[in-house]
Chains A and B, each alone.
Chain A
Amino acid sequence: MAKPRPPVVKRSIYSWILGSNTKLQLVVLALIAVTVVARVIPLEMQKRIVNEAIRLREVDLLIRYCAIYLVSVVAASGLKYLITVLQVMISQRTLARMRKGLFAHIISLPLNFFRNTQPGLVVSSLISELTIPANFVGMAIAVPVINLLTLVAFAVYLFFLNPWLAALSLSIYPIVVLLVPLLQKRVNQANKKRVDATRTFSDMVQETISGIHEVHGNGAYDIENKKIGGIVDRLYRIRLRWDFFRASVKVSNNFFTSLGPFLVFILGGYLTIRGQLELGALVAFLSAQEKLYDPWKELIEFYQVYQDGDVTYRKTMRYFDSPLEHTLVPSDREPYQLDGHVEVKNLAFVTGDGIRLLDHISLELKPGQHLALVGFSGSGKSTLAQCVGQLYSYTDGQVLLGNAEVKELTKKDMAQNMGLISQTPFIFAGTIEENLLYACRAVRTKSDAASEGSDPSLEDMIQVLHQTGLFVDTLRFGLNAILDAERDSALVAQLVKVRQNFRQQFGETLSTYVEFFAEDRYLYHSSVAVNLLFGTSKRKEFSGPSLSENRNFIAFLEKAELKRPLMELGAELARQTVDILGNLPPEKVFFEQSPIAPEELDAFKMLAQQTRRQKLHELTPVERHQLLELALRFVPGRHKMVSFPNLLERLILEGRSLFKEHINGDFAGAFAFYDEKEYIFSQTIQNNIFFGKTKTTSPKAQDNIVQSIIQLLIEEDLLETIVGIGMQFQVGSKGDKLSGGQRQKLAIARAFLKSPRLLIMDEATSALDNNAQARIQNFLETRLKGKTTVIAVVHRLDIIKNFDKVAVMKAGKLIEMGGYDELMAQKGVLYGLIRGKK
C-alpha cells in the first residue's frame, strides 16, 4: 500500500498553516509590517502636534501633522481590513480542503469502522467540528504577529519617550495576567456546580410532574414543596457565588484598565510639571495606554481559539485515523479484467474482538457457475459473500477471483469485475436513470470518460428494467409526469389520440377506477380549484398559489358567496392536519394524504392556533389568504381528515358555471376549459389519457389500469417515450419515494446493467413479491448461467433448485456442498432444512 502522501488524518494542524497557504501568509506578513508602522505614527504625531504645532502656534505644522495622522489612521484601518479578508480567505480555503480530504478518507474506511460510527458523527465532524481548527489556521499567523508587533512597537516607542513612565504604565498588565485567570477559574468551578444543580432541579421537577397523579392522590403537596424547596435554595446560593465571581472578573478588568491613565497622570503629570517630560509625550502616553488594550484582548482570545482548534482537530482526526484495508485505485496500471473464476481456500474471518465468523471454508466456482449459500441465520452466509466481494477483509486463507488474491486487489479492480446487491440496497437522491447508471459510472476510468466512456444506451437501460420487473413501475412514474407545453408539443397530439382510444376500448371497464372529467359533476378526486375553474390558464395569476391572491378571482369568490365558507374549510383543514401530523418527520408516507406539505407545516401550526383564538375576519389578510389557498387544494377523495359539507359542494358546482361567465366577460381567451380534444398541461399524462383521475390507490386496480394503458401506448409507439420520461423521476432522498420492492429492483437493475463477471446477491430479492422474484430467478437461469458467476445468499429455499451448487452453512462452517438433487438424495442438512420450511 504505497501512498504518495500521508493521509489527511495524519497531518498536524500546523501543517495547514503554511502548505498551500504559504503565498497568502507571506502577503499577510508584509501587510502586518506596514500596519504596525501605521499604528505607531499617530502617537508620534500627537506628541508633535502638542509640542510643536500648538506650543509654537504654527498652523502650518498643525495641518501637516494632522494630515499625516489622518493618512496613517486611514491606512492602518484599510490594511487591517485587508488582513482580515486574507485571514478569512485562508481559513475558508483550509476548511474546504480539510472537508474534502477528510470526507474522501472517511468514505474509503473499511465497513467495520462504520459499525460503531453513527452517520451523525461524520456529519458533525465535517460540518461543525472542522470550522474551529480552520478558523485557527486563518488566524495562526496574522493575529499573534500583528498584535505582538503592535505591543512591542508601542512599548519600544514609550520606552524611548520615557523609560520610567513606560515601565510603570505597562506594569499593570502582568497583574491582570495573573489575577484574571485566577478569578476565571473560580467562575468555572461555580458554573460547573450550577450546571449540576440545575440538572438535579430539572430531574426533580420532572419526577414530581410525571407522578402528579400520586401527589394528588395522597395530597402530598407539602412533601413535594419541601423537596423542591431544598434544591431551589441550593441553586440560589450557587448562582449567587457564580454571579459574584463573574462580576469580579469584569470589574477587575475594568478597574486595571482604568488604572493605567491614573498612573500616567500621577507620574507623567509630576514629571511634566517638573519639566522632565514634554506635554506632547504625556498625550502620546495617554493615547498609547488606551490603544494597548485591544491587541492585548485579541491575543488572549487568540490563545483560546488556538486551544479549542488544536483540541478539536486532534480529536476529530484521531477518531477517523483508521488504516485503509485496500488501495482505492491502482497507481501504475489499468484495473484488471478478471474472469469469473472464484476459488476460496481455507478461509477464516475473525472479528477484532476475537469472534470467529468464518472458519475453514473452501469452495470453487468455474466462470459462469451459480452458487446458492443457504443455512441458519447467523451461520456466516452473508459474511462469506462479503469476504468474496472484498467488503470485509478476511483474516486467514485465500479468496481468488480470476486467480488474483482478492485481498491484494484494489477497490477499482473489484468494482470493475463484480456487481453487488446487498440485502438492504441503498438508493441515492436523484433520478431513476442516475441510480441505474451509478455502478457503471463508478467504474469508468479517466481515459474512458475522455474517449468512448459514454453511458449505456436507452435500449440497454430499458432492457434491464424489463429483466428486473421495474419497467411497469418506471412507466407508472412516466405516466404521472407533467409535460411542458413548449418542449413536448409533438407528444401531446399523440396522447390526445391515446385518450380517444382509451375511451373506446376501456372507458366502460375502467370506469369503476376512474373519475372522468365532466362539466356537470363534482370531481371528488380533484382539488376545489380544479372544480371551480374546470380549466387551466397560461397566465400566471390564474394558476398555482397566485390564484388565491388574484383580486379578480377573489371578487368572483365573493360573488359566488364562496369566500367565507372556503376560508372556514381551510381553517378546519389546517387544524385537523396539524393535529394529526404536527410532530411527524417530513416523510412521504405521512404527507401523501395531506393538503399541507412538510415544509409548510410550521407556518400552518401557527395559523391553526390563530384560528382557534380569533374569528376569521379578525385574521390578517396574509393569514386569510393562506387559509383560502389551503381550501383550494382540498381533494375530498384524498384528504379524509375533514368532512365536506353538501352545501359547499353545491355552491362550488354552481360557482363553476358562474366562473365561466365571469371569465369570458373580462378575460376572454385567458382560460382553456377542459375539453376532450385538447391536452391539459396542468394534469399528468395519465390523467390526460383518462380525461379524468384515478379514484383508488389499490395496487391491483393500478395494475389493471397500467396494463390497459400499455396496450394503447404500444399501438401509438409511445411506450419507450413514456418510460424514458419515467426514468427522469426523482426518487427522493434515500429513495424514499420508492417502495421497498422498487428500491430492491432498482438495485438489481443497477448491478445487471454493469454486466459484471461476478455477481454477488445477498438476499437480493427478499422484498419482492413472488412474481417479481420468479422473473429475476428466471433471468439468472436463462441468461446469466455460463456467463456470469453468481454467488447468492438465499433465504427462501424454494428458489435454489436450479443453482449449479448449493452450499449449506452452519456456525461459520461449510457443512454440505453439492448439486441440489445430490444433496436432497443424501437426506442431509439441506433436506432437513427444506422439509422444515415446507
Chain B
Amino acid sequence: MDSSEEKNNSGATCEFQQNLEILRQIDFFAGLPMETLKVFAYLCERESFATGDHLYREDDDDGQAFYILSGQLCLSHETDGREVIIQNYDAGVFMGGLSLLGPMRRLFSLKAGQDSECLVLTREKFAKAIAQFPELIPKIFKSVVDSIRSWDQQLLFEMAEKGLSLEGAAGISAL
C-alpha cells in the first residue's frame, strides 16, 4: 500500500523533514511558527490511493485535509444520480483545510483519478495540536478568511471577463 515506506532513501532527508518543507509552502499554515509546523509535519501521514479509490464521499464527515504528493484527485458531485466532475487536482495542491476546523459533511466526493499519494492530516490531530497553541488560532482564522475573500474576488474577475451575470453566484465573503 504505502510504497514510500518500502524504500530506504539513505542519506536523503527523512519523511518528517520533507513534510515540514511541504507544510511551509501551504497558505493554510502560513504564518505559523516553526515549532507548531514541526508538530503538524510530525502528525501528517502518507497514504496511497489506487485509481478509483474514494478519499471521501458525499455526506461523509471524514475530517481530513490532503496535500497531493503525486497523482491526480478528482472532485465530483452526484446530481440526479449522475456523477458530474467538478475539477481535477494535481500534485502540489492542498485541499480540505476547512474540514480541519470543524465538523462538516462533504457536499462532494473525492477520488483518485490516477494512482496517487497524499499527505493526510486529520481533524482530530489538528484540533489536539492547535489546542496546544491557542494563540495561533487567530492566524488560522485569518488565513481562512483570506482564502474565502480571494476565492470570491477571483470569481468576480472571471465572471466579469466572461461577461456573465454575478447574480446569485458570488458574494460568499459577504456572508
Which residue of the partner chain A has the closest CB to B57? Answer: A770
- Considering only residues 545-583 of chain A, those with a C-beta below 8 Å from chain B are 576, 579-581, 583
Taking A589-B125, A593-B42, A740-B124 as contacts, is the C-beta distance between A646 and B16 under 8 angstroms?
Answer: no
Contact B39 A643 (CB under 8 A): no
Taking A524-B6, A645-B11 as contacts, is the C-beta distance between A513 and B39 under 8 angstroms?
Answer: no
| Bound Cα distance from A548 to B47, whole angstroms | 34
- Considering only residues 91-111 of chain B, those with a C-beta below 8 Å from chain A are 103
Q: Give B122-151 as 1s and 0s: 1 = Cβ < 8 Å from A's Cβ atoms.
A: 001100110010000000000000000000
Give chain B residues whose Cβ lies under 8 Å from the Cβ of A649: 8, 10
Contact for A701 among B1, B9, B38, CB less than 8 A: B1
Which residue of the partner chain A has the closest CB to B19? Answer: A640
Give chain B residues whose Cβ lies under 8 Å from the Cβ of A695: 1-2, 5
Contact B42 A641 (CB under 8 A): yes
Contact A645 B124 (CB under 8 A): no
Contact B16 A641 (CB under 8 A): yes
Q: Give B1-36 as 1s and 0s: 1 = Cβ < 8 Å from A's Cβ atoms.
A: 110011011111111100100000000000000010
Give chain B residues whose Cβ lies under 8 Å from the Cβ of A580: 16, 38-39, 42
Contact A697 B45 (CB under 8 A): yes
Give chain B residues whose Cβ lies under 8 Å from the Cβ of A636: 5, 8
Q: Give B68-102 as 1s and 0s: 1 = Cβ < 8 Å from A's Cβ atoms.
A: 00000000000000000000000000000000000
Contact A646 B42 (CB under 8 A): no
Give chain B residues whose Cβ lies under 8 Å from the Cβ of A641: 14, 16, 42
Contact A698 B47 (CB under 8 A): yes
Q: Give A763-777 as 1s and 0s: 1 = Cβ < 8 Å from B's Cβ atoms.
A: 000100110000000
Give chain A residues whose Cβ lies under 8 Å from the Cβ of B8: 522, 524, 636, 644, 646, 649
Contact B10 A770 (CB under 8 A): no
Give chain B residues whose Cβ lies under 8 Å from the Cβ of A593: 42-43
Whole-angstrom distance between the Cβ of A215 and the nearest chain B Cβ: 21
Q: Give A484-517 as 1s and 0s: 1 = Cβ < 8 Å from B's Cβ atoms.
A: 0000000000000000000000000000110000
Does A243 lie at the interface of the complex (its beta carbon under 8 Å from any beta carbon of B)? no
Contact B61 A647 (CB under 8 A): no
| Bound Cα distance from A646 to B12, whole angstroms | 10
| Bound Cα distance from A770 to B60, whole angstroms | 7
Does B59 lie at the interface of the complex (its beta carbon under 8 Å from any beta carbon of A)? yes
Does A457 lie at the interface of the complex (its beta carbon under 8 Å from any beta carbon of B)? no
Contact B10 A644 (CB under 8 A): yes
Which residue of the partner chain B has the closest CB to A699? Answer: B62
Does A585 lie at the interface of the complex (its beta carbon under 8 Å from any beta carbon of B)? yes
Chain B CB within 10 Å, residue with most, of A513, A641, A701:
A641
Taking A590-B128, A739-B124 as contacts, is the C-beta distance between A643 and B9 under 8 angstroms?
Answer: yes
Which bracket fits the contact residues of A?
35 or more
Give chain A residues whose Cβ lies under 8 Å from the Cβ of B124: 589, 739-740
Whole-angstrom distance between the Cβ of A692 and the nearest chain B Cβ: 14
Give chain A residues whose Cβ lies under 8 Å from the Cβ of B132: 583-585
Give chain A residues whose Cβ lies under 8 Å from the Cβ of B129: 589-590
Contact B59 A642 (CB under 8 A): no
Whole-angstrom distance between the Cβ of B108 and the nearest chain A Cβ: 15
Give chain A residues whose Cβ lies under 8 Å from the Cβ of B47: 696, 698
Whole-angstrom distance between the Cβ of A586 and the nearest chain B Cβ: 12
Give chain B residues whose Cβ lies under 8 Å from the Cβ of A696: 1-2, 47
| Bound Cα distance from A589 to B125, whole angstroms | 7
Does A587 lie at the interface of the complex (its beta carbon under 8 Å from any beta carbon of B)? yes
- Considering only residues 683-697 of chain A, those with a C-beta below 8 Å from chain B are 695-697
The DSSP consensus for interface residues of chain A is loop
Whole-angstrom distance between the Cβ of A53 and the nearest chain B Cβ: 77
| Bound Cα distance from A645 to B125, whole angstroms | 29
| Bound Cα distance from A512 to B5, whole angstroms | 12
Contact B10 A643 (CB under 8 A): yes
Contact A637 B5 (CB under 8 A): yes
| Bound Cα distance from A587 to B129, whole angstroms | 10
| Bound Cα distance from A637 to B14, whole angstroms | 11
Contact B60 A769 (CB under 8 A): yes
Contact B11 A646 (CB under 8 A): yes
Which residue of the partner chain B has the closest CB to A641? Answer: B16
| Bound Cα distance from A580 to B132, whole angstroms | 13
Give chain A residues whose Cβ lies under 8 Å from the Cβ of B43: 589-590, 593
Chain A CB within 10 Å, residue with most, of B2, B60, B103, B125:
B2
Give chain A residues whose Cβ lies under 8 Å from the Cβ of B2: 695-696
Contact A698 B128 (CB under 8 A): no
Give chain B residues whose Cβ lies under 8 Å from the Cβ of A698: 1, 47
Give chain B residues whose Cβ lies under 8 Å from the Cβ of A590: 39, 43, 128-129
| Bound Cα distance from A647 to B38, whole angstroms | 27
Which residue of the partner chain B has the closest CB to A701? Answer: B1
Whole-angstrom distance between the Cβ of A425 and the nearest chain B Cβ: 16
| Bound Cα distance from A252 to B19, whole angstroms | 69
Whole-angstrom distance between the Cβ of B120 and the nearest chain A Cβ: 8
Give chain B residues whose Cβ lies under 8 Å from the Cβ of A589: 43, 124-125, 128-129
Give chain B residues whose Cβ lies under 8 Å from the Cβ of A647: 10
Which residue of the partner chain B has the closest CB to A638? Answer: B5
Give chain A residues whose Cβ lies under 8 Å from the Cβ of B6: 524
Give chain A residues whose Cβ lies under 8 Å from the Cβ of B10: 643-647, 649
| Bound Cα distance from A512 to B1, whole angstroms | 5
Which residue of the partner chain A has the closest CB to B127? Answer: A589
Contact B5 A524 (CB under 8 A): yes
Give chain A residues whose Cβ lies under 8 Å from the Cβ of B9: 643
Chain B CB within 10 Å, residue with most, of A581, A640, A696:
A640
Whole-angstrom distance between the Cβ of B103 and the nearest chain A Cβ: 8
Chain B CB within 10 Å, residue with most, of A576, A583, A590, A643:
A643
Contact for A640 among B15, B61, B125, CB less than 8 A: B15
Give chain A residues whose Cβ lies under 8 Å from the Cβ of B62: 769
Give chain B residues whose Cβ lies under 8 Å from the Cβ of A583: 35, 132
Contact B1 A579 (CB under 8 A): no
Which residue of the partner chain A has the closest CB to B7? Answer: A524
Give chain B residues whose Cβ lies under 8 Å from the Cβ of A770: 59-60
Give chain A residues whose Cβ lies under 8 Å from the Cβ of B13: 643
Contact B1 A640 (CB under 8 A): no
Whole-angstrom distance between the Cβ of B43 and the nearest chain A Cβ: 7
Whole-angstrom distance between the Cβ of A594 and the nearest chain B Cβ: 8
Q: Give A644-676 as 1s and 0s: 1 = Cβ < 8 Å from B's Cβ atoms.
A: 111101000000000000000000000000000
| Bound Cα distance from A643 to B16, whole angstroms | 9
Contact A640 B42 (CB under 8 A): yes
Whole-angstrom distance between the Cβ of B169 and the nearest chain A Cβ: 20
Taking A590-B128, A696-B2 as contacts, is the C-beta distance between A576 and B16 under 8 angstroms?
Answer: yes
Contact B14 A643 (CB under 8 A): yes
Whole-angstrom distance between the Cβ of A509 and the nearest chain B Cβ: 12
Which residue of the partner chain B has the closest CB to A769? Answer: B60
| Bound Cα distance from A643 to B15, whole angstroms | 7
| Bound Cα distance from A643 to B53, whole angstroms | 30
| Bound Cα distance from A770 to B38, whole angstroms | 33
Q: List 11 A-B contacts (CB under 8 A).
A: A513-B1, A579-B38, A584-B132, A590-B129, A593-B42, A641-B16, A641-B42, A642-B14, A646-B8, A695-B1, A769-B60
* Chain B residues proximal to chain A, CB less than 8 Å: 1-2, 5-6, 8-16, 19, 35, 38-39, 42-43, 45, 47, 53, 59-62, 103, 124-125, 128-129, 132
* Chain A residues proximal to chain B, CB less than 8 Å: 512-513, 522, 524-525, 576, 579-581, 583-585, 587, 589-590, 593, 636-637, 640-647, 649, 695-698, 700-701, 739-740, 766, 769-770
Q: Which 5 A-B pairs have the closest CB atoms?
A: A646-B10, A643-B14, A640-B15, A641-B16, A645-B10
Identify 11 new A-B residue pairs, CB closer than 8 A, beyond the known A524-B8, A640-B16, A698-B1. Answer: A512-B1, A522-B8, A524-B5, A580-B39, A593-B42, A695-B2, A739-B124, A740-B124, A769-B61, A769-B62, A770-B59
